[in-house]
Structure formats: C-alpha cells, structure tokens
Amino acid sequence: MNRYPLWKNLLIIGVLVMGLLYALPNLFGDDEAIQIAAANHGTKVTEQTKEQVVKVLSDASITPLSAELLAEEGGLLVRFDSSETQLRASDLVRQALGTDYTVALNLAPRTPAWLVALNAEPMNLGLDLRGGVHFLLAVDMEAAIGQALERTADDIRNQLREAKVRYMTVVRNSERVEVRLRSAEDLAQAETLLHDADRALTLTTEQQGEEFRLYAVLGEKQLREIRNFALQQNITTLRNRVNELGVAEPTIQQQGDERIVVQLPGVQDTAQAKRILGATATLEYHAVDEDNSVAQAKAGRIPIGSRLYKVRKGGEVLLKKQVIVSGSQVIDAASGIDQQSGSPMVSVSLDSVGARKMGQFTRDNVGHGMAVVFIENRTESRMVDGKEVLETKRVEEVISVATIRDHFSGRFQTTGLDSTEEARDLALLLRAGALAAPMQIVEERTIGPSLGADNIERGFTASLMGFGLVVLFMGIYYRAFGLVADVALLFNVVLLIALLSILHATLTLPGIAGIALTLGMAVDANVLIFERIREELRNGNSPQASISAGFDRAAATIADSNITTLLAAAVLFIFGTGPVKGFAVTLSIGILTSMFTAIIVSRMFINYLWGGRRLSSLPV
C-alpha cells in the first residue's frame, strides 16, 4: 500500500494552506490613491491636515473611499475609486496645501486587515506593470575632477606648511594646481617634497619675473579612477537613499561611462521623484577664525582663507575655509536626543582618515572654537506659464558653534538641529553617503498606471490560456491521474505567487513570462512519473507497485533535468540585469515549487485516492 505517515500529510497540507494565505493578498488589487507628506522639517501631517484635505475634496464634490494617517511614514493616504478622480484630487490638494507638502500619486493595496496582521502582502510590481518614473542622470565628471583638484590643493598646502616651505599662494584652476613661490630654493624644496609625497602627480616648473611657479597635474590613471569612483559612489548613494526613503524595489544601474538609470515603480509624480533623488544634506566641520572680526568681514574685508557664514539661530560667524572633516567621511550616523540639553542630535562615526584628521585637530585646538556647517540642496517649485518648474538652491548655514573642551576623534555628537525629524533625515542621508559629483537629469519618462494595468491583463490572459491548455491536455491524455496533476499545478501557481510575495520580489513582464514558462514545464515531472507508471503496468506489476516505482524511479531523472534548468537560471540572475534578473527569479522559484508539487503534493493526492485500495487497474 502507498501511504504517507500522518505527520507528512499534515506538513504538506500546512504548507499548502500557508501558500494560499500568502498568495491571497494578490487577489484584492489596488486602489488609486494620493500620498501626502511634509516637504520640509517645519511642517507635519496631522489630523488637521487630514480634515483640510477632506474639506477641499468635499467642496469639489469628490468623496474619497478613505483617508488615513500613516503612523510609520508620517503621511496621509487618501484612496479613490478611479484614476480620473485620483488625478483631479491630486491637483486640488496640491493647490490647497502649497509647497509645504508633497502630493504623490500612488497605488494602495486593498489587503484586508487580518491578512496585514499576518504580514501577508501582495507582490511588488515593476515599472512596466505598476507604472512609475524613469530617469537618465548624467554625472558631472568635470565637477568630480574639480573636487579632486581642490583636495589636492588642500593636501599641498598642508604638506608645505608641515615641511615649513615658504610659498605665496596655492590656487586651483580647471586643469591643475598652481603653487607660487618667491625663490628658486623654495621651488626646489617644494618640488622634491611633492614628488616624494605623490609620484602620480605630474610636476612642471617655470619662472615668471621674480616669481617661481610649480604646476601639479593629475595623471591619466588618476583621472580614470576619479571618474569611475564618482559614478560608482553616486550609484551607491542613490541606491541607499532611495531604499531608506521608502521607494519599493527601485532599479538603479550604470549606463555607459557617465550615466545612471533610475527607475522608481509606483511613483507617478515626477516632481516628487526629483525631490527624492535631489534630497541631499551633509555636514562640514570648520575651525572658527578667532584672529579676525565678523564686523570687518561684514564690511567687505574678508581674510584670505576664511569665509562668512550665516548662523541658523541668527547672526553670522567667520570660519576657516579649510574643511576639517565632511559628510563623505561619515561611516555611520544615528539620530537621538542629547541627554544634557534635551535637544535633537546626530551621533556621528568617522572613517579612519576622518578620525585621524578630527583627532589631530581637536588635540591641537583645545580651548578654540569649531563650527558645524549644515549643507542642503533644497528643491523648490514655482509656477512658470502654468507649468511647475523645479529649482535647486544650495543652503549653507552654521547649526552649532562650540568650544573644544577635550580631545576626541572617531565618535562624537552634533547638536543644534531644529527637530527630531531633521535629525532623523540628516542621519539617514549621512548614512546613505554624499554624492561624489553633481548630476543632471537628461531624460525623464513616466509610465502611467493604465499602461501597467494593460500589461498585467495581457500577461494574466497569456498565463491563463497556457494553464488552460495544459489542464485540458493532462485531463484528456492521463484521465484521472491527469486531473490530479492539474490540481498539483494549481497549487504550484499558488506557492509560486506566495513565495514571490513573501520574498518581496518584483514582478515584471519578463517575470510573467517566467511564470508562463513554469506552467508549461511544471507538468513535465508528472508526465515522466505517469509514463513510468504505465511502463510498470505494462511489465505486469501490480497497480500499487507501479505507483511506488513510478514516483521513486522517476525522481532522479526529474531532479537532473530541473537542476540543469536551475543552473541556467542562476547564471541569468548573476550576469543579467533588470528584466533578465526578474525572469531568472520567477523561473528559479517556479522550478522549486514545481518539483515540490509534482513529486510530493501529487503523490499525496494519489496515495489518498488510490494508495489504500486493492486495484486491478489505474485510471492513467
């Protein structure tokens, strides 16, 4: 007799029930919605904001399906019954709330609360299915090289000071760093010093009248490394930033030598997407210029090497231009509350280079002042000829000026922030890293949700037709055993969708192609098993022995054929990008679920229907 032990039957049934539960959220679909969030640190989305939005919509005879405050995201989600109502409501709410809030189009799942409580969520849909925005960004390589030259100029100044080599000025132009000296002896000392310090620099000298000049030029290898670092650092920063800011399953990848492709599924508002990409904030630590007065600087007599900054809480302060450490040297940051003052703060951890610089500075400047400069690129919108135009404004302000009381290096706290929200966002952006070079959007494209819905409908129709043809063939050719294979195939689809949902995989059109292919391949294992059972019956074996031999002897062949396909899918996933990876993911999961359902689930049903009886024949 063919029977599974009770524990095995219960385990299989438990897996199938869990699969049904976690696949279920994908049946409820989405509501068109708008999501409202605060655009700056001074505003919050509150119950009053919700009441204002509902009143604006009511005055326009729009009744939303629901309006709910989002506790975790700190925003407001308003659902509608159609995309036309969603678009109209978006325009009305954006005009009513002004620039203090961002209003983004979104799709909100209709998953019931009891499924949400089980952490059951629908699959993430890719750009081609859900709609969203596509950007092509060009990295400003000239700015990256300019920043590298600026760092080189700072290093040269420090090296000349430490070696006590007299010089007049060190200036950086677009292609090189120029050092001006008074004598040939100083020139020779500087050339020897810089050559020994960095052999990758190309040094040339010349005399102009009584001045001696030394030029330092970056080598071709250095320039290539700078360009490659700028591109890779910007990709990493964008990926970290978008992930932490909550955009589900973005695609961020290199295109060519100077460009980056960014795809944000589910985001329909390009202005909101630009704010996400352009959200930049960082810190710089500067020494206070205590040798000169702010009054003289305000009168226009700003000393060389210093700069006048505005203080957030009012007034101005004179700081040294040279940066002690910057946000690019931060390896970790966390927001919190300062225990002594009770004000918001960010706890900062520096890398080894930053820790060494900060340690050296604080050791040599105990009793002197140090300031924290907050730098942010704020994107502001204004209407020009009826169209929204975005402008990026660089804001630099001093948030804290303090006297160094003791020596510290790699870990310390920064205070002076306005709110806990600002501290949290600053910590987030510091963790994500700084952009190595500015970027410009050279192409933008929006894929509407209606096009995504059409793609889903076509993919669903194709998969359903494939499923129907397989079911029809198996039922006709293998009779009752074929119907069992059809039931196992249905559970295969359920488990595949459940696993994609649990793993938060992104479903794209190629992913749907992978599901359709899985449906066609899934019954291959049942075909091998059933043909083996037929062969055993023709050889004169009993029905029960034929069932046992069919499953046991076909298992090795099934495993071999599926493992080779799984290896091919793994290669596609490792070396492919974007849509190819989506296809590989669904194909790989489909192979695993088809082996489980074809070998184990179908045998459980066959054991239950025919395994416990004395039979003279089998309906196969």
User: 392-422: per-residue pLDDT in tens?
Assistant: 667 788 887 878 878 888 888 877 676 777 6
Instruction: Note whether residue 253 is domain-resident.
Output: no
Q: What is the pLDDT of residue 13?
A: 92
Q: Which of 334, 439, 435 is nearest to 376 (CA)?
A: 435
User: Cα–Cα distance between 253 and 260 in angstroms, integer?
Assistant: 6
Instruction: Note whether residue 249 is domain-resident.
Output: no
Q: Which of 368, 371, 373 is nearest to 403 (CA)?
A: 368
Instruction: Tell me: do 367 and 311 sit in the same domain.
Output: yes
Looking at per-residue pLDDT, the higher value among 267 and 443 belongs to: 443
Instruction: Note whether residue 52 is domain-resident.
Output: yes
Other C-beta atoms lying within 10 Å of the C-beta of residue 534:
16
Instruction: Note whether residue 499 is domain-resident.
Output: yes
Instruction: Tell me: do 18 and 35 sit in the same domain.
Output: no
User: Cα–Cα distance between 50 and 506 in angstroms, integer?
Assistant: 32
For 67-90, b/e burial (b = at least 16 CB within 10 A) is beeeeeeebbbbbbeebebbbebb
Instruction: Tell me: do 293 and 419 sit in the same domain.
Output: yes
Instruction: Give the mean pLDDT of 199-227.
Output: 85
**Overall number of domains in the chain:** 4
**Integer CA distances (angstroms), 426 to 75, 82, 330, 430, in order:** 19, 37, 12, 6
User: Cα–Cα distance between 618 and 602 in angstroms, integer?
Assistant: 15
Instruction: Tell me: do 92 and 160 sit in the same domain.
Output: no
Q: What is the pLDDT of residue 42?
A: 57
Picking from 86, 109, 132, the residue at the C-terminal end of a domain is: 109
Q: What backbone torsions phi and psi does residue 312 show, to the nearest 5 degrees?
A: -55, -40
Picking from 109, 126, 155, the residue at the C-terminal end of a domain is: 109
Whichever domain contains 87, its CATH number is: 3.30.70.260
Q: What backbone torsions phi and psi does residue 31 show, to the nearest 5 degrees?
A: -105, 140
In terms of C-beta distances under 8 Å and separation of at least 24 residues, what long-range contacts does 42-47 make, across chains too? Answer: 42/100, 42/418, 42/419, 43/100, 43/101, 44/74, 44/421, 45/69, 45/74, 45/75, 45/76, 45/101
Instruction: Tell me: do 208 and 320 sit in the same domain.
Output: no
User: 441-481: per-residue pLDDT in tens?
Assistant: 788 777 766 656 677 777 778 778 878 888 888 888 888 88
Instruction: Note whether residue 155 is domain-resident.
Output: yes
Instruction: Give the mean pLDDT of 214-224.
Output: 86
**Integer CA distances (angstroms), 287 to 306, 320, 404, 515, in order:** 10, 5, 10, 61
Burial of 479 (0-12, 13-18, 19+ CB in 10 A): middle
Whichever domain contains 203, its CATH number is: 3.30.1360
Instruction: Tell me: do 415 and 391 sit in the same domain.
Output: yes
Instruction: Tell me: do 302 and 196 sit in the same domain.
Output: no
Q: What is the pLDDT of residue 576?
A: 74
- Tell me what the pLDDT averaged over the chain comes to: 81
Whichever domain contains 411, its CATH number is: 3.30.1360.200
Instruction: Tell me: do 442 and 461 sit in the same domain.
Output: no
343 is in which domain, residue-wise?
279-446
Instruction: Tell me: do 460 and 607 sit in the same domain.
Output: yes
In SS3 terms, 69-96 reads as: EECCCCEEEEEECCHHHHHHHHHHHHHH
Picking from 404, 422, 446, the residue at the C-terminal end of a domain is: 446
Instruction: Tell me: do 347 and 379 sit in the same domain.
Output: yes
Residue 162 confidence (pLDDT) above 80: yes
Instruction: Tell me: do 43 and 15 sit in the same domain.
Output: no
User: Cα–Cα distance between 332 and 349 in angstroms, integer?
Assistant: 5
Q: Look at 58-72, 288-302, 457-471, 491-505 and tell me which has the smallest mean pLDDT.
A: 457-471
Q: What is the pLDDT of residue 413?
A: 80
Q: What is the pLDDT of residue 10?
A: 92
Q: What is the pLDDT of residue 578?
A: 64
Instruction: Note whether residue 257 is domain-resident.
Output: no
Instruction: Tell me: do 72 and 89 sit in the same domain.
Output: yes
User: Cα–Cα distance between 473 and 323 in angstroms, integer?
Assistant: 73
User: 557-583: per-residue pLDDT in tens?
Assistant: 888 888 888 888 888 888 776 677 778
Instruction: Note whether residue 258 is domain-resident.
Output: no
Instruction: Note whether residue 299 is domain-resident.
Output: yes
